[in-house]
Structures are given as structure tokens and as C-alpha cells.
Amino acid sequence: MKFVSVLFLTLSFSIVALATQPSIYGENGVVVAHDLEACEAGIEILKNGGNAVDAAVAVSYALAVTLPQAGNIGGGGFMIIHMADGQKFAIDYREMAPGKAHRDMFLDDSGKVVSQLSTRGGLAVGVPGTVAGLQLALDNYGSMTRKKVMKPAIKLAQKGFTIPFDLAYSFGWLNKAAEGFDETRRIFCRDGDIYKPGETFKQPDLAGTLKRIQKKGNAGFYEGPVAEALVKSISAKGGSITLEDLKNYTARVREPVVGTYRGLEVLSMPPPSSGGIALISMLNMMEPMIFDSVGWHSAQHIQMLAEVEKRAYADRSVWLGDSDFFEVPQEKLLSKAYAALRMVDYDSLSATPSDSIYPLNDRELAGIELGGHESEETTHFSVVDKWGNAVSVTTTLNWSFGSYVTVEGYGFLLNNEMDDFSSKPGAPNSFGLLGNEANAIAPKKRMLSSMTPTILARDGKVVLVVGAPGGSTIITTVLQVINNMVDFGMPVHDAVNVPRFHHQWRPDVIHYGPGAISPETMEVLRGMGYELTPRYGYGEVNAIARDKIFGGWIGAPDLKTASHGAAY
């Protein structure tokens, strides 16, 4: 492995110029999420004596009301918990394939993927996990009753909230996109009389559903009238989820994946998320690198991260899936020895072609055919409390507004997570069994995800809570926030809000956001053999960091989007 300490070229603007005062500081607790109503729901719980888990459940239900594009009760997600006493938990409430699902369900008779079959309508829907996951978190690690933590969300659904511009805009395009989905257009598009920014949006059907869950818990969602209506609505749109599928759904408490980076403990999500393993693998590859003499977003810096990202994403393509169905080589992928081996062919003076980087260094997998697409329409939020408990949550319907199927009479949208499986795994000239076999469709299997809710700690105390939406860019986004803070000394507010870039092995391209790479640096990178292309939208990081001066917490919403925070 060759490293050079020469600074190729720094950006034309100074990092110092980006520095701003943190807008959110809390001595006792902080919530950072997409919208202010959800943040305030969480703070209300914290002020009333609830812990971070209680507040996280309240925030999630509030987002199901105020952010119908991604917040949900008809989808799923992942939760990382770090308790003040050092206990660590990962809650997996990823959606599951229904019992009638099968490997080739989205292929035609000639073996080709049928357009939109896995993204729109009933067949695209995975068995929802959010309600079960939130209940599991509350039962095991919360301190408040379901009645209390759901109260803010029910109030928002009943009394309504002011529609912001971005939501009104989304409702506008949904009105056309959801043609044929009458219940969805009735509720969210007012049957074509589209909502405008500043109007009040009330959801009485959803309020009734939330009240039923509030009263009966899982039984109020996975059984009885809601379950029956859910199955009926899916069936009417070609789906196959049954009452038995719903009743048998279970959320899981899993062991978080744990790594270290420059003395910090890194806690993240295990499979069926690929995020935690890929993140720690990249950090392991980066740890021998010296950033002291490297300019931020210089050609050298961008190359260092791009080469690390390529290798991790190559491994992700084959070796990650639902560990209940596929033997993930987790120990190897997380080892620092493997990371060192992975970087043996790294050359700081030139690009390593993606065609010469093989999953798990296995040349026989060079011809792997990638499949599946992960939508960027997800949402992440972070919560800390006065005791030092911390929760990092990423949740989604997959695409914006999911499958477009709304449960008739009950006011909530259903996911299209079946699209996150590999609809056509494994090219014939690869290993056959492998390829994307790890993420092939199977009954009761959970689809692979890039969601990366993460918590960093030092000496057992939380120092950073972070995560993001953004599909395949989620993992590299979280990586760069950590790199910005740990290796470049940025305060959390700047680490979240500076521009970002991304490489995912294939295509062999560095994607970059507005202002991320100067024209001069682009020329240097092209001379090293890199292809570059602009890309708009790199998720919405919502982070919280321990304040080193006063000992409280600093909330860092992503100001490139409509993100918010609240504290007390």
C-alpha cells in the first residue's frame, strides 16, 4: 500500500469559512428529525420524564403523520440504542417477504424483470414492521406507556398541522403519479384539489388507526379490522400478503456490529442492513491512513475515500443479506486484518479500476450482475436524553409514498420494499449460487438495506448519534460525517452540512454534490484515472454530538434540506 503526504490540491474555499455556531443546544435532551412537529413530540416526552427510547417512539409515530413520504406505520426500519449504563442493542423491524413470495415473482416468462411490478401496487408490499419494532423498543427499553408516547402523533393527525412547501410539492406530483390509487389520491391529494403550502392537513382515518394501536398494541395493527383492511387493500392491487403473514411478523433484537476507529467505539446495524458492516469495514481500511497533511476534499482526500468505498461496496454486492437465511462472513468483513489485505493494491497516485476489485477478493466473482435498487426516500432521526441514553433510527417506505397503496378507511400508506430484493440474482457466468443470492427473494426473508443508524462512544459514553437517508449513498454519507469530525476536526454542525461525494464500486464513477469538488481538483482526479459526474441529493443527515465545552448536546440538522431540531 502506498501513501503519499503531498497535498495535491485543496479546495478553493476554506473550511473555516464554513464554520457556524450550532443552532441547537440542549443541556438535557435533543431531538433532530425531518420536521419540527416530530422533534417537538420527542422533546415533550423527554420533558415529561421519558427516556430517549420513549422519545424515539413518539418521534417515529409523529413522522408517520407529518412525513407520509417516508415516515410510516406501513413500512419498517432499524434502531440502534446505547444506554447510559453501556448496554447496546439493535432492533430490526425491517419488512419481510410474504409467505407466498418466491424468487422469480417479478420476472416474466422470458426471465426479464417486469417494469414497476416490484415498485407499485400490492405485490411490491413487504409485511410491515414499524409497529412491532416500536412496541419492542418501548417494552424492553422504554419507561413510559404506549398511551403517553403516542399522544402527540394522535393529536397531530386529529387537529392537523401546517403543510410545508416540500410536502405540498410532493402531494402535487403524487396526484399524477398515483393515478389508479383512488384512496391515496383521496387522502393526500384531495381528489385532485391539491393542498397548498400553509394549509392545514388533517388525517382522521389515520388518527383512528393510531388510537387502535395505542389501545391494543400489536394486536391493533396485525390483527382485527386494520389487518383485514390491509390485506383487502393489498389484494385489490394484486398483492398476496395474508392475515397469517401479519400475525406472524416479529421484530428482532440483534447484536449491533461493533468496531473501533481512532479510539472511538463504532456501533451500527447488523444484517439485514449492509450499513454497519460496510461502514466499519471502510473505517478499518481508513485507520492506517494519515490525514494530517491532507487537504479536505483535495484530490488526495477524495481518492483515499473513493478507493475505500469501492472495496466495501464490492463486498456488499455479494456477501450481505438477511443473516437468518444466508451465512454472512461478518467476522472476516469486520476484521482489521482483512481491511489491510483489502488495501494491498491501493496506489495513492492512480485509480484502481473497479473491474479489478472483486467481492471478498474473489476473482471468480468478477462478472457479478448487480440487481435491485434502493430508494433515497427514507428518513433518519437522532435522540439523546439527560441520562446519556441515545437512539439512532432510520425508517422508510422505500420509494416516496411507498407502493402508492393506502389501506382503505385507515389512512396509512404501505411500503414497496419488495423492490429491495434482487429480482434477478446471479448472472449465469458468475458463481450461480452466489452473486446476489444473499439477497434473493424468499418467503419470510428480510430484504437487504443500506440504512446505517450509528452511534459513536468513547470510554462508554456517547459522543455522536448519526444516520441518513439516501439509498446507496447512506453508508458513504455517514462515513464522511465521521471522517469530517474525527480526522479533520470539524464541529458536528459543519461535518453534517459540508458537501459530499460518493463511490459505490459500480458504476466506476465518483458522484459529487454541488460545491463538493473544485474544478481544479476535478482535473487532478481525472488525470489519476477517475470519472466524475454531478449528483444532486445526498440524504438528510440528522446528528447529535456531545458538547465538549458545556457538557450538553449539540443538534445538527441538515440545512441542505428541510431538517429541524429541538432541545431543552
Enumerate the active-site residues.
Answer: 378
CB atoms within 10 A of CB 528: 18
Please state, in angstroms and rounded to a whole number, the distance separating the CA atoms of residues 54 and 25: 20
In this structure, are residues 478 and 107 in contact, taking their beta carbons and an 8 Å threshold? no
**φ and ψ at 219, to 5 degrees?**
-65, -25
Mapping DSSP to helix (H, G, I), strand (E, B) and coil, where does residue 439 land?
helix
Kindly tell me the sign of the dihedral angle through the C-alpha atoms of 100, 103, 108, 113: positive
Kindly tell me the sign of the dihedral angle through the C-alpha atoms of 545, 252, 474, 267: positive
Residue type, 458: R
Please state, in angstroms and rounded to a whole number, the distance separating the CA atoms of residues 420 and 423: 8
Please state, in angstroms and rounded to a whole number, the distance separating the CA atoms of residues 240 and 250: 18
* Nearest by Cα to 183 from 22, 414, 350, 17: 414
- DSSP letter for 226, please: H
Please state, in angstroms and rounded to a whole number, the distance separating the CA atoms of residues 234 and 134: 23
Q: Which three cell numbers stand for residue 461?
A: 459514553
Please state, in angstroms and rounded to a whole number, the distance separating the CA atoms of residues 281 and 337: 10
Q: How large is the greatest C-alpha to C-alpha distance in the chain, in angstroms?
A: 66
223 Cβ contact partners less than 8 Å away, ≥ 6 residues apart: 243, 246, 247
Cα angle value 381/84/477 (rounded, 5°): 35
Please state, in angstroms and rounded to a whole number, the distance separating the CA atoms of residues 241 and 235: 8
